[in-house]
Structure 1
Amino acid sequence: MSDTLTPAAPLTEARPAHRDGNVLRWLAAYTASILGDNVYYIALSWAAVRAGTPSQAGLVMAVSAVPRALLMLGGGVVADRFGPRRVVIGSDAVRCAAVLAVAALLFTAGPGLWPLALLALVFGTVDAVFMPAVGALPPRITGHGQLARVQGMRGLAIRFANVVGAPLGGLGVALGGSAAAFGLAGLLIAVSVPLLVSVRMRALPASDARDGEGPGEPPAPRTAWRDLGDGLRYIRRHRVLAPLMVAIALGDLGFVGPLNVGLTLLADQRGWGASGMGWVLAGFGTGAGAAALLLTVRGRLPHAGWLLSVAIIAGSAAIGALAYVPHVAVAVGVAVLVGLLAGLSGALCGALLQTQAEPAYLGRVSSVAGIVSLGIAPLSMPVSAAAIGAWGTGPVFVASAALCGFGGVFALCSRALRRAELPR
């Protein structure tokens, strides 16, 4: 379960992440990669709409989700076995090659659904190993005391990519069609590869690298199934990680539906229109960006477990209130509060996952968190839409807020999680 070290950095406390060239190279690589992802999704949706019917385009866009959900737990095992940096580099290289191959195909032939569906399938499969490896990488490039700051920097990168990626993808489509947009996405992903190669890795402590073997004992034969089972048992028995996973699952299940499908239906019901919905989403993004900036500047927040629980509970109350706001200006203010609290709780969840888990298990821990957020929580969207059709936005937003809030209450009831702290 080792990774290639270039060269191995000492296991002393690192310099502040925002002044560490090693972390900044990783951040630049990560930003380029997710910016390429945003451009890729714009290119894929445009090409799919041009090549088929709206329903066919929707199926193409959904193809990525299936392998990502089914294979992500195995992706965590791959990340732990081969090392997160190696997996991230390989994943980005495969994604870049696949996107550029489709770009070349579209330059020489008309768009077709089958190449786009195949690309989406490859992208989703590679994402299943890419995402756990991304989650496992930060503790290997900086000290534990800097992980909250790194989560803030990562949040800022995500916000930047979300704001810039869509217009950049649209510009690529406008100037050269889907082929040019795919080419741009591939080049952006390609930028991340040499940057990742230059990132130095911190060596695992011997106790972590042995992955649980006793001193003096020969390592038992390892299989992928055994590694997966070990990882799941490790999470289940951990006093902080087990309740944290439950809090993440409940929070995401109560959050994803209202802030995706529910917000669209609410804006239509209130007569805010697409522009009003856009302003509300911008408010949410602003709040989440502010939370990421706070963690980037502060680097560490005390009483992390308690603060995480309170942020989830307060954020859930704001989600419930959003359904009863009559004016779009007030809704934007509430959305800023939701984004701030959700961004804060999400970053603290990520930092606690990375500091509480032993490095040798981080890929599997990240994969379980990812399958909850990206595999289970999206299932709430069609359920939320159907429920709103039957009972209206108010009751569904309140029920979703209650589910989300229960995650915070559950976290508060766990003594170990409530008292969890981020390292200094």
Structure 2
Amino acid sequence: MVASEHRPPRLYWIWLAGTGASALGTQMLVFGLVWHAALSGPGTAAAVLSAQVVPRVLLTLHGGALSDRVGALPVMAVANTVLCAVALTGAVVMSGTGPGAVAMIVIALALGTVDAVDIPASASVPKLLVSSTALGRAMAARQVLLHGSVLCGPPLGGAAITVLGLPSLYGAGAACYLVTVIVLCWVRSRARSASSTGPGRGLNRQVRQGVAVVFGTPLLRAVVLLTGAFAMFVIPFSPLVVPVVSAARGWDAVATGAAAGSFGAGMACVTALVLWRGTASRAGAVAAWGMITAAAGIAATAAAPGPAALCLMSLVVGLGTGVFSTHAGPLFLLACPREVVGRAQAVVTLAQWLPLLWANPLIGLIAQARSVTFLLVVWGAGAGVAGMAALFARPLRAAVPNHRARPPEHEGKTG
């Protein structure tokens, strides 16, 4: 049996269920938008995707500052209320005859803008509701739920479109957001809000202060830099590198899908283990070893003789990814000062998105100009160098989660 202090409280699980509804609604809506845009052509689909991503990149830091100023739970409640209104508007628009590209891009921009506010707030809630000893399990559970929404959202969205039509998809998304708003209001009534920075400072100043705290704290800075390297060299493996390798070597779609599934299975196994047993004591060193493991899998894929070997290497990369994500995330949250947790989460979120703007086109250029073997060796070496550098970096090597931190704000308050 796991001691109660090492388990997230019931209030956290209720909040997580509401967050899962919101994540599922977003995945369904994005699928519906891209599917409908693709009927007009690949250019329209690309424009819709970009319209969702660009506001996230530009506004996430300000979203984190807003979360610190007002409180994570109130920000999430307002954000999901807006998302519900956007989804209902989309249902009305899609009921019309032939909604054009402009309408879809406007909806995508609205989704991306609200996500820029909602994502940092959501990422900071575990620190506010869960004690430090249970934070690893709490974040592993959140990761399982978010991955589940990514897996279930598109199929559910496709089924809704096929059976009931496109407007029903937006109606289902609105229902998901409404459930989240109700849950958030209930949780907020039973949990004290995090201390805010107050209304007297401008958001731009708060953003600068948050960035200064992150990059002025050795451990936070090390985790952010390592996360950026991880986003550059490891995150594109399953969605982009695996299909590129399969196409170049003449392997079919079944092999590609199996390799992507092996990657997900590796991540799921580690996440389930952390959810059961908790994180390792030397979280910084373990996260670095996770990246080194993923690097070895990427580089070894260069010598994969067939689809079976590709699946095995994808499993190794997935295991390394799971180890990294389940240890780097809690370590970062535990080291964050409570008054800047939203802004700190915005910085680390941006560190995951920005490298992808460079990595994805660069992968395509290298694979086309040289070969996929060269690409895999270079990308594996890059991940390995970053992992080794982290392993020898004192802030990460010596990082041990502080389990003597203060209890979460809701403790001691009856529900």
Q: TM-score if structure 1 supplies the norm length?
A: 0.89
Structure 2 stretches lacking a partner, 5+ long = 404-415
Shift in Å at residue 148 of structure 1? Answer: 0.5
Q: Would you say 1:184 and 2:163 are equivalent positions?
A: no
Aligned to 2:130: 142
Instruction: Pick which of 159-168 and 145-154 moved more.
Output: 159-168
Shift of 1:316: 0.9
Q: What CA deviation, in whole Å up to 9, does each residue of 1:124-180 have, x standing for no partner?
A: 111111111111111111111111001110121122212222211110111122222
1:201 to 191, 212, 215: 191
Give the secondary structure class of the aligned counterpart of 1:137. Answer: helix
Q: Report if the CA contact (8 A) 1:146-1:299 is conserved.
A: yes
Preserved CA contact (<8 Å) 2:294 2:317: yes
What are the equivalent positions in structure 2 for 1:18-417 lying under 5 Å apart? 20-50=9-39, 52-199=40-187, 200-202=190-192, 204=194, 209=195, 221-417=200-396
Compared CA separation, residues 103 and 220, structure 1 to 2 (3 A): closer
Structure 1 stretch displaced more, 30-39 or 385-394: 30-39
1:16 and 1:95 mapped to 2: Cα distance? 34
- 2:388 and 2:305 mapped to 1: Cα distance? 29
Counterparts in 2 of 1:280 and 1:28: CA distance versus 1, 3 Å: same
Local SS of the residue matching 2:147: helix
Letter matched to residue 285 of structure 2: W
Q: 1:281 aligns to what SS in structure 2?
A: helix
Q: CA 1:131–1:203 in structure 2 vs 1: closer, same or farther (change >3 Å)?
A: closer
In structure 2, the partner of 1:5 is none
Distance in 2 between the 1:267 and 1:191 partners?
41
1:10 corresponds to which residue?
none
Q: Gaps spanning 5+ residues in structure 1: where?
A: 1-12, 212-218
Q: Please tell me whether the aligned partners of residues 25 and 173 of structure 2 are also in contact (alpha carbons under 8 angstroms).
A: yes
RMSD between aligned alpha carbons? Answer: 1.9
- Once residues 71 and 229 of structure 1 are traced to their aligned partners in structure 2, the CA distance between those partners, rounded to angstroms, is 13
CA distance in 1, matches of 2:141, 2:91: 31
Counterpart-to-counterpart distance in 2, 1:54 and 1:236:
40
In 1, the alpha carbon distance for the partners of 2:51 and 2:36 equals 15
Matched pairs, number: 399
* Letter in structure 2 aligned against 1:129: V
Point out the more displaced range, 118-127 or 102-111: 102-111
> In the TM superposition, what is the alpha-carbon distance from 1:210 to its structure 2 partner?
7.7
Letter in 1 for 2:191: M
2:36 counterpart of 1:17? no
Instruction: Give SS of 2:235's match.
Output: helix
1:288-325 alpha-carbon deviations (Å, 9 max, x no partner) = 11111111101232211111111111111111112321
Give aligned-pair identity as a percent: 26
Amino acid at match of 2:176: L
Task: Give the whole-Å Cα distance in 2 for the aligned partners of 1:390 and 1:239.
Answer: 39
Task: String of CA shifts for 1:51-106, please: whole Å, max 9, x gaps.
Answer: x2221222112211111111111111111111111111111111121012111221
Cα shift readout 1:325-348 (whole Å, capped 9, x = no counterpart): 122122212212211210120121
CA-CA distance at 1:14 after TM superposition:
7.0
Instruction: Report the TM-score when normalising by structure 2.
Output: 0.91
Q: Is the 8 A contact 1:64 1:123 kept in 2?
A: yes
- Kept after mapping to 2: 8 A contact 1:148/1:351: yes
CA distance change for structure 1 residues 35 and 203 in 2, over 3 Å: closer, same or farther?
A: closer
For 1:77 and 1:385, locate their aligned partners in 2 and report how far apart those are by CA, in whole Å: 35
Letter of the 2:71 partner, please give it. G
CA contact (8 A) 1:235 1:242 kept: yes
Distance 1:21 1:346 in 2: 24
How far apart, CA to CA, are the structure 2 residues paired with 1:160 and 1:389? 33
Whether the 8 Å CA contact 1:258–1:384 is kept in 2: the answer is no
Given that residues 32 and 192 in structure 1 are in contact (C-alpha distance below 8 angstroms), is that contact kept between their aligned partners in structure 2?
Answer: yes
Deviation at 1:15, TM superposition (A): 3.9
